[in-house]
Amino acid sequence: MSAKTQRIIGWVLSGLITAFLIGGSAAPKLFLADTPDMAERLGEMGFTTDVMKKIGIVEAIVAVLYVIPRTGFLGAILVTGYLGGAIATHVRVQDIKFIMPIVMGVLVWVALGLRQPGVFRLAAGKD
């Protein structure tokens, strides 16, 4: 596979990850946290709607940092940290959905490595 093809795949995957983080996860936290159904689910996880809105803001910020080329590496680190919190929350409430943040975390780094091959070299200890 050519380097150009790898970069394209990396960018497409990064775009999908970012769309999921912002549109599928951060936006509901910001705009639906006050709905009775969402407030009930948040309560089950031990969060208030106010805290969840703040978490949504953090999630959106780290997702944007991830998709910007100059801050992509920092963004990947921060997204990984954010996803670690999501994993801990799901495990704490004994929810099987902890698998999804693990998969997302792996995909974040694979996509970044395809966009910026130096990431793979760094991970292999060759840089």
For 56-93, write each residue's pLDDT tens digit.
999 999 999 999 999 999 999 999 999 999 999 889 88
For 1-35, write each residue's pLDDT tens digit.
898 999 999 999 999 999 999 999 999 888 887 78
Residue 87 lies in a domain: yes
pLDDT score at 126 = 73
pLDDT score at 9 = 96
Residue 127 lies in a domain: no
The structural domain count of the chain equals 1
Residue 54 lies in a domain: yes
Half-sphere exposure of 74 (CA within 13 A, CB side): 8
What are 46's two structure tokens? 């031990």
Task: Provide the residue range defining the domain that includes 73.
Answer: 3-122
Residue 52 lies in a domain: yes
pTM for the complete prediction? 0.89
Residue 22 lies in a domain: yes
